[in-house]
Amino acid sequence: MLYISFLILALSFSSSAVIAQQGPQVFQIPNPQGQQYVLQDTYQDHGFYDWLWETNDDPTHGRVNYVDQQTAIERNLTYASEGKFVMRADHTSMVAPGGRGRDSNRIQSKKAYSNSLFVLDVQHMPTGCGTWPAFWSLSQAGPWPHGGEIDIIEGVNQNTKNLASLHTLPNCNMPQSRVQTGQTISVNCDSAVNFNQGCGVASTQESSYGPGFNACGGGWYVMERNNVGIKIWFFSRCSPPPPEFQSTSLPINTGNWSPPDAYFPFGDNCSYLDHFDAHSIVFDLTFCGDWAGSAFPTSGCGPAQCADFVDQNPGAFTEAYWEINSLRIYLPS
């Protein structure tokens, strides 16, 4: 999420998207078998206030002013109740031309995880012109891109399909064809290639991102990482979820599930130990910047410049909020 390639800025991830053709690649791909996990940590409602609230300038050059926790509470940009945690952008005020941008939130977990399974239950995600929300993880040790980055939820403007990506040091490549339901967008994970495009997979589910996601009441995003590979699933609330989601006391065995939306296998093509270490977890919501800003003119959002739109249209951001039911972290049993 730190940066994004200008080669995919305007992608809508529809069937009409043009995908660069990759040369023949032959890798030994590990068998994507499942593993059993048990619950380790649960983040819910007020528990997210124990995370780090970041206020630095946006590294993606967004038109955003990340505020601290106390400011967010005072300005009603975050609140928590039993079983709910909300973070939102300001949607009542114009932004001064000389300011950093529209008030918003970026939080990072204090704990870091290696081999694990993340289960995120989201009721609502930020949507709308100029928006660029993300749920992702990065190395706690760093410096970026050492230790890797995993983008689990990401998109911009009026996108309707999620983009999952990895960003790494050199010598990490993915096969064009693999066991996944998503559409391969790019295969070189090296952050120094193609303006840090990374290796991305677009979901083929219309309800995986944006208004379609919210119309279903959200759903579950799951990320599994181990030395076999990284897999990302999306389960819409419009369909029955896996039975393991109904009780936190049940272990989860991903081998019982259908193929993931995105699969990033490790092996001769990419060494897990060389490219990924323990990751902390990030939620954020920025505006414009390297991706949403460059894609804005072709996004159907109108003739205005992205930054001007963000500054002058607070009412356009009433849907720019995260409503999170829970984030559960499972470890291998």
CB atoms near residue 80 (< 10 Å):
17
pLDDT tens digit string along 85-136?
999 999 999 999 899 999 999 999 999 999 999 999 999 999 999 999 999 9
The verdict on residue 266 lying in a domain is: yes
Q: How many domains does the chain have?
A: 1
State yes or no: is 149 an active-site residue: yes
State yes or no: is 154 an active-site residue: yes
**In this predicted structure, what is the pLDDT of residue 246?**
86
Phi, psi of 146 (to 5 degrees): -55, 135
Expressed as residue numbers, the domain containing 323 is: 53-332
The two structure tokens encoding residue 123? 């009721």
Q: How far apart are CA 156 and CA 298, in angstroms?
A: 12
Low-confidence stretches of the chain (pLDDT < 50) are: 2-31
SS3 47: helix
CA 318 to chain centre: 20
DSSP 147: T
Strand 52-53, strand 229-236: pairing: unpaired
Query: pTM for the complete prediction?
Result: 0.90
CA distances from 215 to 12, 211, 303 (A): 19, 6, 27
**In this predicted structure, what is the pLDDT of residue 1?**
60
Could you tell me the CATH number of the domain that includes residue 227? 2.60.120.200
**In this predicted structure, what is the pLDDT of residue 15?**
32
Task: Name the residue type at position 124.
Answer: H
Query: Tokens 């039993």 identify what position?
Result: 82
The verdict on residue 272 lying in a domain is: yes
**In this predicted structure, what is the pLDDT of residue 8?**
40
Q: Which helix (H) or strand (E) holds 214?
A: helix 210-215
Out of 54, 149, 206, 319, the active site residue is: 149
**In this predicted structure, what is the pLDDT of residue 248?**
87
The verdict on residue 8 lying in a domain is: no
The two structure tokens encoding residue 270? 């990419």
Q: How many residues does the chain have?
A: 333
Out of 154, 206, 224, 323, the active site residue is: 154
The verdict on residue 1 lying in a domain is: no
The verdict on residue 25 lying in a domain is: no
